[in-house]
Amino acid sequence: MKKVVFITGASSGMGKVTARVLAQEGYIVYAAARRTEKMDDLRAAGVIPIQMDVTDETSMVNGVQYIINAQGKIDVLVNNAGFGSYGAIEDVAMSDARYQLEVNVFGAIRLAQLVLPYMRQQRQGRIINISSIGGKFAMPLGGWYHASKFALEALSDSMRNEVKQFGIDVVVIEPGGVQSEWGGIAVDHLKKVSGGTVYRPLVDGFMKLAADAENKAADPMVIAKLIRQAIEAKKPKTRYAGGYMAGVILFMRKMFSDKMLDSILLSQYKLKPATR
């Protein structure tokens, strides 16, 4: 029987490319997003769009039930929906911080809760959480985004060992720089929140780094292939990483001390810490 894949955040970027690739490979793919009008091309490719807001309980419950009613199962959940809300921690409104966590953490884990009973019943399944290399290290101005990805990494580790007994795998994907709408949204929010505050020098430094990274960002297909690999592997790894700077950053995080990383980061932002 064909495997049924449910992927969120599929209206653009990695999610859209992954949905198309999996449909071409013969999977039954349900693709969820708030903006279903942006998935007409996926519909033409055989993907089944679902309107869903991962901050809305009714929307998530109805979406999962729709797939179960149609297919009787969900073999793979790809939690891809997410965004980056950037700004200095002092400047970010708590309402914005909560929304960041609501989308990137609580939405993903709530969907895992909703599909797990069906996966347990069939004694197999795979939950793939799209984290980030930003779930292993935190840059200035991205505190709440990084907090959401650190949390998703931890929750994935806990859940992996909880559900292994039922034949269910939990896998984390850690993208580096990838071409998407994500960067533009993060930068626009950063300028709005901290562009006119005492953190302006950091913002200016970040903007230069972001522009350089955008020019070197990997094609979303890189991550789509990792997701497909995580789905098809008989014994999947706990983590897969790919995209611009992914290997370098994760190596630095493993090998360098916090102080060394701080110095490297501040030098990239062209800032020096205050002398005391």
Task: Specify the CATH number for 4-268; select among 1.10.3720.10, 3.100.10.20, 3.40.50.970, 3.40.50.720.
Answer: 3.40.50.720
Model-level pTM greater than 0.85?
A: yes
Nearest alpha carbon to residue 84 among 30, 19, 33, 139: 139
Return the domain boundaries, the chain.
4-268
pLDDT score recorded for residue 93: 96
pLDDT score recorded for residue 276: 60
How far lies 71's CA from each of 12, 127, 128, 146, 273, in Å? Answer: 25, 18, 20, 36, 57
pLDDT score recorded for residue 273: 63
pLDDT along the chain (276 residues), means of 10: 95 95 97 93 96 97 98 98 94 97 98 98 98 95 97 98 98 94 81 95 90 89 98 97 95 95 86 63
- Catalytic (active site) residue 27: no
Question: Catalytic residue among 145, 199, 240, 244, which?
Answer: 145
pLDDT score recorded for residue 274: 62
**Rounded Cα–Cα distance for residues 74 and 205 (Å):** 44
**Rounded Cα–Cα distance for residues 216 and 239 (Å):** 23
Nearest alpha carbon to residue 71 among 14, 30, 43: 30
Q: How does pLDDT run across 38-88, given as a tens digit for each residue?
A: 999 999 999 999 999 999 999 999 999 999 999 999 999 999 999 998 999
